[in-house]
Amino acid sequence: MQSGPEGGRQTRPCVLYVDDDASNLAAARLLLEERYELLEAENDEQACTCLKREGERLGMILMDIQLKRSQLDGIALVKLIRGKLDRASLPCYALDVPVLLTPVIFLTAYGQLYPREELLRAGGAEIAIKPVDFIKLSNAMTRYFVRQTLGHLE
């Protein structure tokens, strides 16, 4: 934790990283957890559990599109938190996931398969192509959090 104004405690922004590749999660942990409180999920069920538990506390979501061993892919999960998915056809663990405005950066190794407009319409804010350049990603995240903080000060 860092000290905030007037000696108060300031916590790191909370970021959920959803990726089915353990090596990507390990790299993110090494490169991002100094600046961010990093929560991890390897499939849709773990992501839904975290979304229900952390909800509004999440400052950002990094979402892999292709999620092996999952009923919902990353696009469906983002549509779910944006309130754009029919809840009648959801697995039971996804039923109580809250609608959130948390910004999402989609991660994919197959960028050419997903038109940018489709990902933005689903509720994403940005797209990062794998292998992820975590330095560029961290810089983009920092810019977002600085803009968000400055917006709250106005």
Please give the model's pTM, rounded to 2 decimal places: 0.87
For residues 57-85, b (16+ Cβ closer than 10 Å) or e, as one string? ebbbbbbbbbbeebebbbbbbbbbbbeeb
Residue extents of the structural domains in the chain: 11-153
pLDDT number for residue 3? 41
What is d(CA 27, CA 9) in angstroms, rounded to the nearest whole number? Answer: 28
pLDDT digits (tens, 9 = 90+) for 62-117: 999 999 999 999 999 999 999 999 988 899 999 999 999 999 999 998 878 899 89
Average pLDDT over residues 32-57: 95
| Domain boundaries 11-153, corresponding CATH code | 3.40.50.2300
What percent of the chain has pLDDT above 90? 56
